[in-house]
Amino acid sequence: MPIAADVYQKIVRAKIYIDENFQQPIDLHRLAREACVSRFHFHRLFTRIYRTTPHRYLTQKRIEQARVWLVGEDHSIMEICNHIGFESIGSFSTLFKKEIGHAPRDYRQLAHARKQQVQQQPRRDFVRASSLALPRP
């Protein structure tokens, strides 16, 4: 059954609200109010349109932002945790590890190690590809 255009736009507005306010406490009631529909209806429509639940979408948004900030050196893990909307570093670390496969500290260390490796060694693939492109004497 197709979704009416005005209802679709309301769900899109709620998603944009998540995108712009993911660092704030957001619950289903607030999102449903933003879309001017009931919580049940909102959850069902959001999941149908975006193929993920509102909570899962919010969590993914927060984790993606955490990944970006963890690669940088400006923020501590606690600052990142607080800034992206988690209330406890324990819940943030557990969820991050579940989603990414590494604890935030380990993820940061791996990212810095990769960055150093790239800076210290030229890409071998590029060298091989370049030599293949040159005609042999």
pTM: 0.79
Are 23 and 62 found together in one domain?
A: no
Are 67 and 131 found together in one domain?
A: yes
Q: Which residue has the tokens 């607030």?
A: 30
What pLDDT does residue 132 have?
A: 43
What pLDDT does residue 72 have?
A: 84
Are 21 and 63 found together in one domain?
A: no
Question: Could you list the pLDDT tens digit for every one of the 137 residues in the chain?
Answer: 788 899 999 999 999 999 999 999 999 999 998 888 999 999 999 999 999 999 999 999 999 999 999 998 788 999 999 999 998 999 999 999 999 999 999 999 998 888 888 877 766 655 555 444 433 33
Rounded CA-CA distance 137/132 in Å is 12
Q: How many domains does the chain have?
A: 2
Domain encompassing residue 116 = 58-137
What pLDDT does residue 124 have?
A: 60
Are 64 and 46 found together in one domain?
A: no
Are 113 and 136 found together in one domain?
A: yes
- CATH number (domain holding residue 66): 1.10.10.60
